[in-house]
Every structure is written in structure tokens, then in C-alpha cells.
Amino acid sequence: MALVVIGGVAAGLSAAARARRLDPRLDILVLEKGNVISYGACGLPFFIEGRVRDARELTVYTPEYFRRQRNIEVRTGARVVSISHSRREVALESGERVRYDKLVIATGARAGAAGITGADRPHVFRLHTYDDAVRLKAFLAEKRPKRAVVIGAGYVGVEAADALRRNGLAVTVLEQGPNALLRDDPRLTAALQKQLERHGVELRCGAAVAVIEPDHVAGVPCELVILSAGFTPNVELAAEAGVEIGRTGAIRVDDRTETSLRGIFAAGDCAETFHLVSGRPAYIPLGTTANKMGRVAGANAAGARERFPGVAGTTIVGAFGMAFAVTGFSAAQARSEGFSPVLARVEAPVRPKYYQAAFGAPRSSLTTVELVADRATRRLIGGTVIGEDGAAGRINVIAAALAARMKVEDFEALDLAYSPPFAAVWDPLLIAAQQLVKEF
């Protein structure tokens, strides 16, 4: 039995490693078109920022490691140009053909810039691959740009703006849509805008960019441009092989991550998943999802029968020390998904006031929690947490409640930890839930 995996980053390597664990005798080959594998792509902004000094620190595993420790063959610089499923083989750019019994497609996504003229100018960078980051870093050192424009206010755009601003550049973020962070939520956008402006970064929403000029973008003068305007899933290879593409534009898979062609699985940024609140297909490319889907794809390719239950769309991003975390649907998204949303938003202290006062305030004591529930079923269907302390933990509690299809009354009664150094007697999550109950 031969398993071939196309793509050697998060989803691909997770699939290969899991398949090996379940079946020691499988022949496993990973084909990666780039020069490095297994790098922490989410760490690239922190390499640009400077606190991760050497991009090589972002590389978790080497091909040698996989070969020796896992008995998995990993080839870099190996670009697959076609898949012939009837012959069960893939063709490489070199002309070589490789047979498979099971195939995992983990071709990822590419940073989008559809229709922007001038996107290939030498001062325009993406921040998506290891090589992108190394080239941008060299540009910063050599050209010492003073002003940057970031196109796109998604997660990478915000992290890039933070990183460049901390390097002393004047930064303007231009977002085509009405809202930032890929979420239909004006209040989240307003909170982010306030935090960015407090640290000298301008955020303009509704700012479509058609042309990147050598010295300005949409009238904003700059010597550096970061393109972070969305992702396009790399589905061409799969589509040409006859694999069905979903309505989101990504590869359609079932809840076992199998594609429309038996024996071909897909996982990570190239694939659709299910939104566990709506039960519908969704395209939410994230590193955590890639790793989890990859594990399931690898297990099933190795003959197991595992299910990937979908995602809640939980994400967190930092901007100058403040975390912006979301899960499930915003009120507006809930409405377009057919729910009748009920919403509560509170700002509350994360620790008792006397403790906060006594220990000084290296971080703000206040956190914002927003909860969204469905009027008909009283189920929680979304949440937002904004704060400098404990935002990840709080959004994760909401994510667990979404997965459990928890009602707002049950959420309100959660027995959360309390002790002055760590939490307030009424956690902001519970105060928000009390408020939400009143809104029904």
C-alpha cells in the first residue's frame, strides 16, 4: 500500500505522521513543491517583527527527521503537475510519475491579489510562505522603507501592520470590505480600529485597491506594500483530475475528508470543512484546522474510519498586546445563516478590583465579551472576546459551548474557576450570559 501526500506543511505532514502511526508498513511519500517543510507559517509576522530572529527557528521538522524517525519519505522541490486517478499516479514537473493507492491533497492556498495592477512590483510582498518572509526581511534591511501600506485587514494583515509599526514604519491598512478580520461585525472592526489608531496604525475599510503605484497606493504614499487580501485555495490540480470543487471554491470533502473520488482525501487550506454551528460547508483556512483535518485524512487514508466534526471558526489575533478573538457567528452572519440572533455585549473586569489595583495594571483589567444566541432554540451560536488578558481561554470556553450546542441558561450556570489572582467571582463570560438571558 502506497500513500502519497501532496504538500509538506501543516495538513500534509499531519496526515503522513498519523497514517504512519496507524500503519507501520505503509509506504508514505510526501511531495512538497517548496524548499522547506513543516514551517510555522503563523510565525512569519513575528520573524518580520524581529523577535523571532532567524526564520529557521520556524522550521519544526526537516525531511531527514521524517525519514529517520518516522520512516516517511519527504521530497522538497517536487511539484506535482497532474493527477491521474484512473492510473492511480501523479506526475511531477520533472516528468517522473509516482504511483499511489491512497492520495492526500494538501496543496494549501495562495495569498490573493486578484485584479490588482502592479502586484508584481519589487516593493510588493506577500506574507504567506517562508520565502516571502525571507525576501521581505531582506528588503526591510536593505531599503529601509519608512512607510508601508498593508492591503487587506485579515489576520495576516493585522499582524503585518503590528510587526511593521514596531519596526518604526508608518503603516496604513486598506481593507476592501466594510469590516476587518474577515467577520461581518462592525463593532469588532471599530474596536480593532481604535486599538490600531492608539498605536499609530491607520485602518481604512471600504478602500478598494485597483492599482499599486511605485510610490503610493490609493493616494497613500509608501515604499513598501504588503498584500494580504484573502486566500485562494489551490484546487487546480484536484479540479483537473476530476475532483469536485464545492460552492465555497475549495475542494469538497465528506466528514471523513474524502473527496468525490474514492481514495483521494483533501485537508487544510485547499479544502472545505463544515461549520459546526450551521452544519453547512465552509471555507475557513487556518493552521489548527489544517492540522486536525490532516490527522483525520491520514487516519482514513490508512484505513481507519474517523470523522472530522467541523469547525466553529475560532480565531484569535493580537494587535499591540490586545487580543481579538471570535468563534461561531457574529449577529450579522447569524442572520444571513438563517438564525434569529439575540445579542449581549458587556465590558467587565477579569479580576477583583482590589486585586487589580494592588498589583498595578500591566494589562488592562477590562475585557469585552459578546455572546450571540439563536432566539428560537436559545442555543449559543457565536461569541467575541476582546482584551489583554485571558482572551484565548474565554473564547475557548465559548467554542466548547458551541460544540456542545449549549443553551444560554446552561452557559450562565457554568462553574468557572475563581481566585483573585486569576479571575473575578463573576467571570465576564457569566456576566455576558446573564445579560443575554435578559435579552430574550
By C-beta, is 109 or 217 nearer to a second copy? 109
Cell 484565548 identifies what position? 392
Active-site position among 42, 205, 222, 270: 42
Residues 311, 334, 343, 373: which binds a second copy (CB under 8 A)? 311
Q: What percent of the residues of the chain are helix, what percent strand, and what percent coil, each to the nearest 5?
A: 30, 25, 40
By C-beta, is 50 or 221 nearer to a second copy? 50
CB atoms within 10 A of CB 77: 12
Backbone angles phi, psi at 409, to 5 degrees: -65, -40
Minimum separation from the CB atom of position 286 to a second copy (A): 7
- The site map against a second copy for 366-405 (x = CB under 8 A) is ------------------------xxxxxxxx-xxx-xx-
Dihedral of CA 185/186/190/191: which sign?
Answer: negative
357 part of the interface to a second copy, by CB under 8 A:
yes
By C-beta, is 189 or 356 nearer to a second copy? 356
Catalytic residue status for 42: yes
By C-beta, is 26 or 293 nearer to a second copy? 293
Provide the b/e sequence for 92-104 (b: ≥16 CB within 10 Å). beeeeebebebbb
37 part of the interface to a second copy, by CB under 8 A:
no
**How many alpha carbons fall within 13 Å on the CB side of residue 296?**
22
Separation of alpha carbons 363 and 11, rounded Å: 35
Residues 40, 152, 382, 428: which binds a second copy (CB under 8 A)? 40
Minimum separation from the CB atom of position 193 to a second copy (A): 19
Tally of helices (H runs) and strands (E runs) in the chain: 13, 24
Choices 121-129, 131-139, 141-149, 302-310 (CB under 8 A): range interacting with a second copy: 302-310
Strands 124-126 and 224-227: parallel
DSSP 384-435: EEEESSSHHHHHHHHHHHHHTT-BHHHHHT------TTT--SS-HHHHHHHH
The residue ranges of DSSP E strands in 255-363, in sequence order, are: 264-266, 273-274, 281-282, 315-319, 322-328, 341-349
Minimum separation from the CB atom of position 307 to a second copy (A): 8
Residues 1, 2, 22, 52: which binds a second copy (CB under 8 A)? 52
Minimum separation from the CB atom of position 421 to a second copy (A): 5
Residues 164, 266, 286, 386: which binds a second copy (CB under 8 A)? 286
414 part of the interface to a second copy, by CB under 8 A:
yes
Residues 170, 242, 355, 364: which binds a second copy (CB under 8 A)? 355
By C-beta, is 90 or 423 nearer to a second copy? 423
Residues 200, 239, 359, 440: which binds a second copy (CB under 8 A)? 359
Q: Which three cell numbers stand for residue 254?
A: 465528506
E strand or H helix at 110: strand 109-111
Minimum separation from the CB atom of position 10 to a second copy (A): 8
Size of the site for a second copy (CB under 8 A): 69
Which are the contacts of 250, defined by CB distance < 8 A and separation ≥ 6? Answer: 233, 235, 270, 271, 272, 283, 285
By C-beta, is 114 or 358 nearer to a second copy? 358
Q: Which three cell numbers stand for residue 190?
A: 471599530
By C-beta, is 261 or 389 nearer to a second copy? 389
What would the 3-class secondary structure string for 23-80 be? Answer: CCCCEEEEECCCCCCCECHHHHHHHHHCCCCCHHHHECCCHHHHHHHHCCEEECCCCE
Residues 276, 331, 344, 346: which binds a second copy (CB under 8 A)? 276
Separation of alpha carbons 303 and 70, rounded Å: 18
Residues 249, 340, 413, 440: which binds a second copy (CB under 8 A)? 413
261 SS3 class: coil
Per CB under 8 A, contacts with a second copy among 219-258 are: none
Residues interacting with a second copy, by CB under 8 A? Answer: 10, 40, 42-43, 46, 51-53, 57-58, 155, 276, 286-289, 291-292, 308-318, 323, 325, 327, 352, 354-355, 357-359, 390-397, 399-401, 403-404, 406, 410-411, 413-423, 425-427, 429
Residue numbers annotated as active site: 42
